[in-house]
Amino acid sequence: MFQKLIVRAVLAVGLLATASAHAQLGGKLGAALSGILPEPSCPTHYVGGRAPQIVNPKLAPATRALCFNVFGVMHSGLTRTPLWSAEHLRADNIEAAQDLSRENSFHAEPRLPAAQRAELADYARSGFDRGHMAPNGDMPDRSSQRDSFSLANIVPQDGENNRNTWAAIEGEVRKMAKREGDLYVITGPAFLGANLRQVGKVLVPSHLYKLVYSPRQKAGAAWFIENSADAKPNVIPINELERIVGINLLPALAERDKERMLRLPAIRDNNGGKRGSKRGGRD
């Protein structure tokens, strides 16, 4: 199954180029970026202080690192979404977040060029949820909560997926962080296949992933799920996910370390259904 996904990922390269044209970046991209310097890569959010490295060169244009209080984002001006959002998720932050009521404050990211960022109008009447990559439920204070509602941290997500299976995955990660003390979590979209959609000027991901790495167990794994209503998550090794998405997500780890599987729980969605499977590792 996943070998087919890798082939489809190669086909998606052309779609990313099409998205660039739709966004009217094209040949103007270099000029638009010439005066923009990259921000720091937020080392505290990443294993070994090393941010992911883009392997597929078609994903690299118009990227910009954004640092927030408790998470970091690599934003793509082609897809107008994050390529990833990364958290060093600590148990004390989870405890603080439990006492914080939700205040929706979706907003365009002011640090991004207008020609490359998502706007609220892109999502209006789109039929998709504005799906958080670094979840609001992980945010320990109001400032961090507002950060999480930046559209730089958002992708168009199927509403049933977002509110049920994906919400259950996020909840399981928080439980794991409490048990482990801390986790490194990287969440992002995948754009696979030849029939990608857009909402406004924002590309809709075909799949989503959430990678979890435990420093205590020195092991990691990822949930990988189609961006659709009744999709079931698969649990896959880190290096398999990296091949699919074209990004070295944990460059601080040797390849043999990426093969050590962390046990991830089977997911019961918010409707009570059991989804996905566990593979390898130990709790």
Q: What pLDDT, on a 0 to 100 scale, did the predictor assign at position 211?
A: 98
Please give the biggest Cα pair distance in the chain: 51
Q: What pLDDT, on a 0 to 100 scale, did the predictor assign at position 16?
A: 56
Quick: pLDDT tens for 167-199.
999 999 999 999 999 999 999 999 999 889 999
Helix (H, G, I), strand (E, B) or coil at 63: strand
- Map out the domains of the chain as residue ranges: 2-269
% of the chain surpassing 90 pLDDT:
76
Mean of pLDDT values over 60-84: 97
Helix (H, G, I), strand (E, B) or coil at 190: strand
Q: How confident is the model at residue 271 (pLDDT cuts 50, 70, 90)?
A: low
Quick: pLDDT tens for 84-130.
999 999 999 999 999 888 888 999 999 999 999 999 999 999 999 99
Going by C-alpha positions, the residue among 125, 121, 128 that lies closest to residue 159 is: 128
- 214 pLDDT higher than 50: yes
Give one DSSP letter per residue of 223-257, joined into a string.
EEEESSTT---EEE-HHHHHHHHTEES-TTS-HHH
**Which superfamily does CATH assign the domain made up of 2-269 to?**
Extracellular Endonuclease, subunit A (3.40.570.10)
Mean pLDDT of the chain: 86
Catalytic residue numbers, as ranges = 132
Q: What pLDDT, on a 0 to 100 scale, did the predictor assign at position 103?
A: 86
Helices (H), 154-221: 159-161, 167-180
